[in-house]
Structure 1
Amino acid sequence: MDFNDSKNIFLQIRDWLADQIMQDKILPGDRIPSVRELAVDMEVNRNTVMRSYSLMEDDGIIENKRGIGFFVAADAKHNLLELRKKEFFETELPAILHQVEVLKLTSDDLNALLTLIQSNDHENQ
């Protein structure tokens, strides 16, 4: 995994694991790599991975079964969806709305975008 400087590494690891869950590459009940395994694979400190796992555990995304390892929680995908929506509305949407205002985009501009999104949705179904 290539890390970028715009976000803390432990958050990037959390986002990567979250993406794996959201894309059904890791399913509820699946065991995820141990802290040590993932730290070696990603070439980061174990404490960095543990910080990611702790955050995900606090958010109800993974569960720690003592002596066995970490597993994807049954309702992980639902919890992730809610968390990501909240993050979007709190952090990303205000910046987008600011750009809409600065660029003086009209409702016609935005309707064209929504039409494009809807046509892509229909193609993917």
Structure 2
Amino acid sequence: MDFKDKQAIYLQIAGYVFEQILLGEIPIGGKMPSIRDLAVQIEVNPNTVQRTYDFLQQKEIISTKRGIGYFVNEDAREKVIAFKKEQFISDELPIVFRSLHLLDIDFDDLKQKYLTYIENNF
């Protein structure tokens, strides 16, 4: 992973896990990688991954089964979408709106570009 300076590493790892869940790479009900395995995979300290897993448990995305490991909760996809949507609306959308206004881009143009993007990428 390439980490950015503007956000805590454990939150960037959580974002990576969110994306993996949304893409189906980590299946609903599936076992999460062990803390050590994920730490080795993304080249971070296991304590950082533990902090990520604590955060994901707090958000009710994953839960632990004593002695077995961490698992993705059944409603994780919905919780991830709700969390990411709230984060996008509060953090990123104001920047997008400002750019749209400054660049005089109207919603009809934006809608067409969005539909083309979806068609070409999904």
Q: TM-score when scaled to structure 2?
A: 0.88
Q: For residues 100 and 69 of structure 1, do their structure 2 counterparts lie closer, same or farther at Cα, with a shift above 3 Å needed?
A: same
Give the residue type in structure 2 aligned to 1:6: K
How far is 1:64 from its partner? 1.0
Q: Partner residue of 1:112?
A: 109
Q: Partner residue of 2:33?
A: 33
Higher mean C-alpha displacement, 33-42 vs 15-24: 33-42
How far is 1:120 from its partner? 4.2
Q: Partner residue of 1:54?
A: 54
* Residues 1-56 of structure 1: per-residue CA shift (max 9 Å, x gap): 22222321111111111111000111111111111221122221111101111111
2-structure distance, mates of 1:22, 1:41: 20
Q: Partner residue of 1:68?
A: 68
How far is 1:100 from its partner? 2.2
Superposed counterparts of 1:77-92, under 5 Å: 77-92=77-92
How far is 1:73 from its partner? 0.7
Higher mean C-alpha displacement, 4-13 vs 55-64: 4-13
Percentage of matched positions with identical amino acids: 37
Q: Partner residue of 1:93?
A: 93
Give the residue type in structure 2 aligned to 1:69: G
* Residues 49-101 of structure 1: per-residue CA shift (max 9 Å, x gap): 01111111111111111111001110111111111110011110111112223
Matched, 1:13 2:28: no
Q: Partner residue of 2:2?
A: 2
Higher mean C-alpha displacement, 37-46 vs 10-19: 37-46
Q: For residues 3 and 121 of structure 1, do their structure 2 counterparts lie closer, same or farther at Cα, with a shift above 3 Å needed?
A: closer
Of structures 1 and 2, the larger Rg is shown by 1
1-structure distance, mates of 2:94, 2:74: 32
* Structure 1 runs of 4+ with >6 Å offset: none
Q: TM-score when scaled to structure 1?
A: 0.86
2-structure distance, mates of 1:2, 1:73: 27
Give the residue type in structure 2 aligned to 1:64: T
For structure 2, the residue ranges without an aligned partner over 5 or more in a row are: none
